[in-house]
């Protein structure tokens, strides 16, 4: 384990910090969720709305997290107490709880990614991806995969800030960039790629005035940039004083967006070149773990290579994000309870894995965890953080300006955190709290009637039922083809 004699761990360089933060940001959220949301919610219009939200909400909050982390040199709970007094302690707890909740299910999805990476490298992709997914996504297999992934995460976090987290980011992130860019270029030459681009980006201007779309873009921005739960705050607490935080925030947010955007350019053409577009509408999970692997299986040897690379990239993204989620919990235990890093990583990792087990047993739990944390907790965390930096913290402007001479808009930044962002986030919460409650209600109902689970692990031959074999209601006409 890295000995950090001066007390607190530190990054070895600014680049190490930036790559670690990019590693936190770039993850499962970018590689599929973004492009899926864009396709669902207005295509290019969504992309523009999303960029606006990153600029207007994401960047100012990212800078606020960095400033609180660097000024306090503490993990979330202690940071808020130190800079704002005991009354702010609950905000720190909210961060830790969000970290728990997100990593609990993130580890399960990442476990599936581990399995698909294995498939790509070792056994080849199953021809019937739907049935395959049904077998591994819920139950003992899923728990086994989750445990493997969480063990890797714990191992890296236990190895320390410099020796574990930074090193993983510095080696792994370039791999991810290269794979995503390479595949995106390759698929541009596939026949039918244009149909994929069209599906992804064709603008629908109705989306501009739709609160649902706005809230979806906002919660995606929080999730994708790792904001609202103290991950970037914690990373910034390992900084030296000299970093140019405003510039680094822009680099991190810009990279995160670029990866998400290019990932869409990679994924959609693959699916549409193989005529699998119809499956896309069903669920985010279905598209990533069913349609894409189906496409890879159909593409033969090339598909095997592309698919293996794709899941390696997805795995890298998931791992470097999970590390940052666990680090919030770990650093809070080190600073608050005086635990050693090893102990904190082990206890935190085991506890989070256990909390995640329900999501590995039933996908409805996954919906519940995801909706509460993504739609509500992160946005609420962002709201409280902007109020904190806007109103309570002493001289955040000076802290933000340290290492960044000549940045003139910091006064404006603070005003923005004070007045504008809280209003925007309240508006979003006004929509997303009831929406999240509805999600949870729906999922609980599904839990009670488990027959409707997305892909139940039953007779593999029967899954998924091809559309033209679905029995039609009486009088609806003969099934196509077989009639002849
Ligand atoms: N940003 C990560 C992703 O896009 C998820 C994440 C959220 C990580 C919050 C840390 C904190 O997958």
pLDDT digits (tens, 9 = 90+) for 75-92: 999 999 999 999 999 999
pLDDT at 277 over 70: no
Q: Count Cβ atoms within 10 A of the Cβ of residue 204 and give its class: 0-12 exposed, 13-18 middle, 19 or more buried.
A: middle
pLDDT at 374 over 60: yes
Closest by CA position to 226, among listed 325, 332, 345: 325
* Centre of ligand 1 from the C-alpha of residue 225, in Å: 6
pLDDT of amino acid 284: 66
Q: State the pLDDT confidence band at 365, using cuts at 50, 70 and 90.
A: very high
CA-CA distances (angstroms) from residue 357 to 8, 109, 162, 404, 443? 33, 12, 30, 45, 16
pLDDT of amino acid 471: 40
Q: State the pLDDT confidence band at 316, using cuts at 50, 70 and 90.
A: very high
pLDDT digits (tens, 9 = 90+) for 174-190: 999 999 999 999 999 99
Q: State the pLDDT confidence band at 209, using cuts at 50, 70 and 90.
A: confident
pLDDT at 459 over 80: no
In percent, how much of the chain has pLDDT > 90?
A: 76
pLDDT digits (tens, 9 = 90+) for 102-137: 999 999 999 999 999 999 999 999 988 889 999 999
Ligand 1 pocket mutation pick from 23, 25, 373 by most atoms within 8 angstroms of CB: 25
Tell which wins on pLDDT, 100 or 286.
100
Task: Provide the mean pLDDT of the chain.
Answer: 89
In percent, how much of the chain has pLDDT > 70?
A: 90
110 lines ligand 1 (CB under 6 A): no
pLDDT of amino acid 465: 38
pLDDT at 451 over 80: no
Q: What average pLDDT score do residues 366-381 get?
A: 95
**HEC readout, the chain:** CCCCCCCCCCCCCHHHHHHHHHHHHCCHHHHHHHHHHHHHCCCHHHHHHHHHHHHHHHHHHHHHHHHHHHHHCCCHHHHHHHHHCHHHHHHHHHHHHHHHHHHHHHHHHHHHHHHHHHHHHHHCCCCCHHHHHHHHHCCHHHHHHHHHHHHHHHHHHHCCHHHHHHHHHHHHHHHHHHHHHHHHHHHHCCCCHHHHHHHHHCCCHHHHHCHHHHHHHHHHHHHHCCCCCCHHHHHHCCCCCCCCHHHHHHHHHHHHHHHHHHHHHHHHHHHHHCCCHHHHCCCHHHHHHHHHHHHHHHCHHHHHHHHHHHHHHHHHHHHHHHHHHHHHHHHHHHHHHCCCHHHHHHHHHHHHHHHHHHHHHCHHHHHHHHHHHHHHHHHHHHHHHHHHHHHHCCCHHHHHHCCCCCCCCHHHHHHHHHHHHHHHHHHHHHHHHHHHHHHHHHHHHHHHCHHHCCCCCCCHHHCCCCHHHCCCCCCCCCCCCCCC
Q: State the pLDDT confidence band at 36, using cuts at 50, 70 and 90.
A: confident
27 lines ligand 1 (CB under 6 A): yes
Tell which wins on pLDDT, 462 or 385.
385
165 lines ligand 1 (CB under 6 A): no
Q: Are 397 and 408 in contact (CB under 8 A)?
A: no
226 lines ligand 1 (CB under 6 A): yes
* Centre of ligand 1 from the C-alpha of residue 30, in Å: 9
pLDDT of amino acid 40: 85
pLDDT at 367 over 80: yes
pLDDT at 307 over 60: yes
* Centre of ligand 1 from the C-alpha of residue 179, in Å: 20
Q: What average pLDDT score do residues 447-453 get?
A: 64
Q: State the pLDDT confidence band at 280, using cuts at 50, 70 and 90.
A: low
Q: What average pLDDT score do residues 155-166 get?
A: 97
* Centre of ligand 1 from the C-alpha of residue 25, in Å: 5
**Cis peptide bond prior to 464, omega within 30° of 0:** yes
pLDDT of amino acid 475: 38
- The pTM of the whole model exceeds 0.85: yes
Q: What average pLDDT score do residues 217-243 get?
A: 94
pLDDT digits (tens, 9 = 90+) for 463-475: 333 333 334 343 3
Q: What average pLDDT score do residues 229-256 get?
A: 95
pLDDT at 140 over 60: yes
Q: Which residue has a Cα nearest atom 12 of ligand 1? A: 27
pLDDT at 290 over 60: yes
Helix axes 300-337, 341-361, angle to 10 degrees: 130
Q: What average pLDDT score do residues 452-478 get?
A: 41
pLDDT of amino acid 477: 40
pLDDT at 453 over 60: no
325 lines ligand 1 (CB under 6 A): yes
Determine the distance from the C-alpha atom of residue 403 to the mean position of all C-alpha atoms in its chain, rounded to a whole number.
Answer: 30
Determine the distance from the C-alpha atom of residue 143 to the mean position of all C-alpha atoms in its chain, rounded to a whole number.
Answer: 20
255 lines ligand 1 (CB under 6 A): no
């Amino acid at each position: 384990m890295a000995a950090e004699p001066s007390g607190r761990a530190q990054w070895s360089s600014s680049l190490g910090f930036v790559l670690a933060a990019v590693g936190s940001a770039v993850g499962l959220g970018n590689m599929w969720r973004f492009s899926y949301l864009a396709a669902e919610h207005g295509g290019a219009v969504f992309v523009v709305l999303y960029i606006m939200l990153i600029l207007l909400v994401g960047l100012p909050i990212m800078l606020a997290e960095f400033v609180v982390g660097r000024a306090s040199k503490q993990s979330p709970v202690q940071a808020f107490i130190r800079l704002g007094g005991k009354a702010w302690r609950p905000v720190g707890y909210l961060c830790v709880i969000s970290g728990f909740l997100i990593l609990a299910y993130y580890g399960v999805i990442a476990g599936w990614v581990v399995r698909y990476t294995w498939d790509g490298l070792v056994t080849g992709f199953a021809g019937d991806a739907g049935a395959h997914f049904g077998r591994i996504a819920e139950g003992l297999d899923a728990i086994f995969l989750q445990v493997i992934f969480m063990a890797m995460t714990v191992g890296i976090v236990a190895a320390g800030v410099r020796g574990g987290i930074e090193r993983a980011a510095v080696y792994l992130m370039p791999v991810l960039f290269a794979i995503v860019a390479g595949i995106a270029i390759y698929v541009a030459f596939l026949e039918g790629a244009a149909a994929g681009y069209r599906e992804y980006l064709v603008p629908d201007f109705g989306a501009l005035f739709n609160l649902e779309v706005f809230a979806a873009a906002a919660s995606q921005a929080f999730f994708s940039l790792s904001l609202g739960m103290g991950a970037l705050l914690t990373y910034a607490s390992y900084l030296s004083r000299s970093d140019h935080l405003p510039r680094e925030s822009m680099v991190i947010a810009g990279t995160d967006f670029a990866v998400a955007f290019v990932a869409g350019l990679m994924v959609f053409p693959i699916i549409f070149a193989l005529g699998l577009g119809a499956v896309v509408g069903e669920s985010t999970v279905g598209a990533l773990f069913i349609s894409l692997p189906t496409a890879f299986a159909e593409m033969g040897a090339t598909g095997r290579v592309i698919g293996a690379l794709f899941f390696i990239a997805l795995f890298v993204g998931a791992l470097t994000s999970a590390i940052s989620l666990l680090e919030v919990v770990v650093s809070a235990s080190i600073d608050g309870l005086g635990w050693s890093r090893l102990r904190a990583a082990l206890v935190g990792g085991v506890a989070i894995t256990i909390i995640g087990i329900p999501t590995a047993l039933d996908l409805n739990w996954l919906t519940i965890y995801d909706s509460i944390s993504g739609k509500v907790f992160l946005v609420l965390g962002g709201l409280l953080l902007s109020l904190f930096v806007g109103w309570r913290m002493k001289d955040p402007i000076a802290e933000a300006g340290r290492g960044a001479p000549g940045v003139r808009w910091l006064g404006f930044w603070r005003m923005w955190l004070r007045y504008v962002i809280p209003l925007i986030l309240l508006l979003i919460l006004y929509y997303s709290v009831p929406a999240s409650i509805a999600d949870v209600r729906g999922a609980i109902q599904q839990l009670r009637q488990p027959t409707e689970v997305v892909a139940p692990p039953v007779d593999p031959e029967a899954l998924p039922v091809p559309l033209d074999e679905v029995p039609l209601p009486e009088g609806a006409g003969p099934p196509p083809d077989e009639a002849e």
